[in-house]
Amino acid sequence: MISVAVAGASGYAGGEVLRLLLGHPEVRIGALTGGSNAGTPLGELQPHLVPLADRVLEPTTAETLAGHDVVFLGLPHGQSGPIAQQLGDDVLVIDCGADFRLTDASTWERFYGGDHAGSWPYGLPELADQRAALTGAKRVAVPGCYPTVSTLALAPAVAAGLVDPAALVVVAASGTSGAGKAAKPHLLGSETMGNASAYGVGGVHRHSPEIVQNLSLLTDETIRVSFTPMLVPMPRGILATASAPLVDASTDAARAREVYAAAYADEPFVHLLPEGQWPTTKAVVGSNAVHLQVTVDPDSGRLVAVAVVDNLAKGTAGAAVQCMNIALGLPEATGLTTVGLAP
């Protein structure tokens, strides 16, 4: 069995990692750590994780996390670097946070502030040659939730040269769990219920450079993306609408679908929906699936793609488990499902 520790077990990302690991046949769950909740039984914080209810959270230190084959980090930005440094090179460390996602130090400093911790193999196996880079890796940086869905919505069109890569637009609506469990005024029920709000508008959201970095792996041309996130009143899910001007006005919806179908034909978690059917967030809740549809708007001369993920599953914890499987040489889908919840 693979022994696994989870730091940030009291949080949303850590809790979802644990939910998935409880269904993983090769894993034994070891140390569970928290921050302010250290000393509290997990059952008081994550009542849905019944088999782990009596486990008491330990403080998040290198000592409590030592002695495991795999360590998942579900910590706030800036917390993973110092802990990871103290974990042995033989341990597989999978960071759900942003510390090791960006390769360029000046971009990190601009969007996050503080020193750049470095970059690790990037946990989006469906992108370019990332699956190979993840195989046997000992460090994995799990992507941000918006970059996952935005990258997968645009990658086939950019890679095939169907669209102008310097004029990409993504507008994405996220459920509130994307912001984490810690109390924040804008996440109060009275602010989020019956409300939709844009934020991070004008290229300032920290996921903009991550999307650019990803798509830049697919073309020699300059990638420019206008990314606008928004918060909508649902607990889980992201729906991203991506569009870009067509390079060749004769490209039609059938050609776009052909390109997307070929790009994702062998991907176990990315599903191009049947023609005419558009993604809904509900269909992917709890699953590691990405649902995707693409068409062409001939009047505006644009390709339009819509994609959904569960931000806590394929958008974080599902991707983390998928990457663990790849890194350890297990079948990639072990412990993961493409089956969502309904209604």
Ligand X SMILES: CC(=O)N[C@@H](CCC(=O)OP(=O)(O)O)C(=O)O
Ligand Y SMILES: NC(=O)C1=CN([C@@H]2O[C@H](COP(=O)(O)OP(=O)(O)OC[C@H]3O[C@@H](n4cnc5c(N)ncnc54)[C@H](OP(=O)(O)O)[C@@H]3O)[C@@H](O)[C@H]2O)C=CC1
Between CA 90 and CA 94 the distance in angstroms is 13
Between CA 128 and CA 119 the distance in angstroms is 17
- Binding of ligand X by 124 (CB under 6 A): no
Buried b (16+ CB within 10 A) or exposed e, 27-54: bebbbbbbbebbeeebbebbeebeebee
CB 42 within 8 A of CB 53: yes
Residue 8, contacted partner among ligand X, ligand Y, none, CB below 5-8 A by kind: ligand Y
Active site residue 323: no
Single out the residue of 125, 209, 229, 318 in contact with ligand X (rule: CB under 6 A): 229
Stretch that binds ligand X, among 4-12, 161-169, 173-181, 279-287 (CB under 6 A): 173-181
- Binding of ligand Y by 20 (CB under 6 A): no
- Binding of ligand Y by 213 (CB under 6 A): no
Using CB under 6 A as the binding rule, the residues of this chain from 312 to 341 that contact ligand Y are: 312, 315-316
Residue 208, contacted partner among ligand X, ligand Y, none, CB below 5-8 A by kind: none
Residue 67 zone, left/alpha/beta (φ > 0; ψ -120 to 50; rest): left
CB 128 within 8 A of CB 134: no
- Binding of ligand Y by 37 (CB under 6 A): yes
Single out the residue of 5, 14, 157, 289 in contact with ligand Y (rule: CB under 6 A): 14
Residue 335, contacted partner among ligand Y, ligand X, none, CB below 5-8 A by kind: none
CB 99 within 8 A of CB 75: no
Q: Any bridge partners for residue 73, and if so which?
A: 7, 95
Residue 182, contacted partner among ligand X, ligand Y, none, CB below 5-8 A by kind: ligand Y
The residue (of 38 and 187) whose beta carbon lies closer to ligand X is 187
CA–centroid distance for 175 within its chain:
13
- Binding of ligand X by 209 (CB under 6 A): no
Task: Single out the catalytic residue among 42, 145, 154, 296.
Answer: 145
CB 338 within 8 A of CB 285: no
Residues of this chain that interact with ligand X (CB under 6 A) are 97-98, 144-146, 174, 178-179, 229, 231
Q: Which residues are catalytic?
A: 145
**Contact residues for ligand Y, defined by CB under 6 A:** 8, 10-14, 34-37, 60, 74-77, 79, 96-98, 144-145, 177-178, 180-182, 311-312, 315-316
